[in-house]
Amino acid sequence: MKVKTKPTKENTYRKMLKEIVQENPFSTDDYFQTLFPPQVVIETTCACNQHCTYCGRSYMERSKGNMTRATFGKIVHEIALESPLTDVLPAFMGEALTYGDELFARLAMARRLGCQKIVLNTNGTLVEKYISQILAGNVDRIIISCDAHKPETHQKVRPGEKTGGLEVVYRGVHALTAAMKQRGLDKPFVEVGFTVFDENEQEVDDFVAYWQDHGVITKTHPKGYHAGVIPGGEFRRSVGPDRIPCGWVRDTAVVLWNGNVVLCPCDAEAKYVAGNIETQSLREIWNGPLKWIRELHHRRRFADLPEVCRKCPDWQSRTSNVFFPDEARKKQYIDYVQLGKPVVHSSSTATPPPKVD
């Protein structure tokens, strides 16, 4: 993660993209196998009120549904027991806030069980409606994906019926931060995100400057292709010496609505299923097939990876640029993110992995 304070005119997106491509957690030989995933993404629901042009959900053909409360409870109970400072993210290929009060009941369950880092990803269209629930103490970070600074661009890249568009998203962010200020709250951390692609690249600098002026943490990301589900990205495919190990597989487990645990957050179509949470523990799956995939990345044996991983173009898209309105908020955020590093052991003692078909 590259951290920055307020941007200057020199901080154009093309300069940031160069920095993103060059920076990766695996750029050195320092590497550890974690005993439990530092992040767990839970597909609480596949419902969504937008049809984004770059989202894997808009292209995927796998079945969609809602996770049962019992399955969700099993996952967060294990997280609380094994690694209570693991990030819990209750959204994957769906908009979590469309689940309404049921979502917040599940977040409250996770908190009661002992999960200490709950991160809500949202498209922002329903933030204003649920401000009271968001500020009830069960959300530690909220990441609001905007991906535009002009309403017409937002409608182009994030189309959706009766969502109110970018105006509603911005109004929700302002209402949320105002409510926090009125109540004297410094959490949740409020972040606005901007994934950059051709249609919106010219707006990224104005977006960052606007939200920095309003005291909101701001992130920019390079475009991802969800392991090839989204068209394009062929130019990034490689198994040669130019490829570097991917940060997505290193730190994140993803549990789909039906309990399947897939390769990583890029595997929207669930082309690689490592196990199912109904019959296995998350720790068991993390230290089983997924462990060997992490080892193959570490050893740069990219040609031996499963096809979906071998051909994935998203190994360059893990790092974000993060801008902070001031140094104090930057320190608070970094301290929070670094809180509770999981117990690790060096991979140097591991048995060499078998070839993966």
Q: How many CB atoms lie within 10 A of CB 14?
A: 9
Per-residue pLDDT tens digits for 293-322: 999 988 889 899 998 888 887 777 677 889
Which residue, chain included where needed, has tokens 């993966």? 356
Predicted local confidence at residue 71, as pLDDT: 97
pLDDT tens column, 63-85: 999 999 999 999 999 999 999 99
Position 54 pLDDT exceeds 90: no
What pLDDT score was predicted for residue 343? 45
Q: What is the pLDDT of residue 30?
A: 47
Q: Phi then psi for 329, rounded to 5 degrees?
A: -70, -35
Q: Are 127 and 172 in contact (CB under 8 A)?
A: yes
The reported pLDDT for the residue numbered 234 is 56
Is the pLDDT assigned to residue 9 strictly greater than 80?
no
pLDDT tens, residue by residue, 204-257: 999 999 999 999 999 998 776 654 565 665 555 665 677 788 888 888 999 999
pLDDT of 3 higher than 70: no
Average pLDDT, the chain: 84
Q: Write out the E strands in 35-116.
A: 39-42, 87-89
pTM comes to 0.85
With 0-12 / 13-18 / 19 or more C-beta atoms within 10 angstroms meaning exposed / middle / buried, residue 235 is: exposed
Cα separation of the two ends of the chain: 32
The model's pLDDT over 111-152, given as tens digits with 9 standing for 90+, comes to 999 999 999 999 999 999 999 999 999 999 999 999 999 999
Mean pLDDT of 184-209: 93
Q: Please name every residue paired with 221 in a beta bridge, in sequence order, or none if there are none.
A: 195
Residue 344 pLDDT > 50, yes or no? no
Residue of 224, 279, 287 lying closest to 93 (CA atoms) = 224
Instruction: Please report the pLDDT score of residue 298 as a whole number.
Output: 86
Predicted pLDDT of residue 245: 83
Whether the CA torsion 307, 295, 40, 218 is positive or negative: it is negative
With 90 as the cut, is the pLDDT of residue 259 above it? yes
Contact 240, 35 (CB under 8 A): no
For the chain, give percent helix, strand, coil, nearest 5. Answer: 40, 15, 45
- Spatial neighbors of 172 by CB under 8 A, at least 6 apart, are 124, 125, 126, 127, 128, 131, 144
Tell whether the model's pLDDT for residue 167 goes beyond 50: yes
DSSP string, 290-338: HHHHHHHHHTT-GGGS-HHHHT-SGGG----EEE-SSHHHHHHHHHHHH
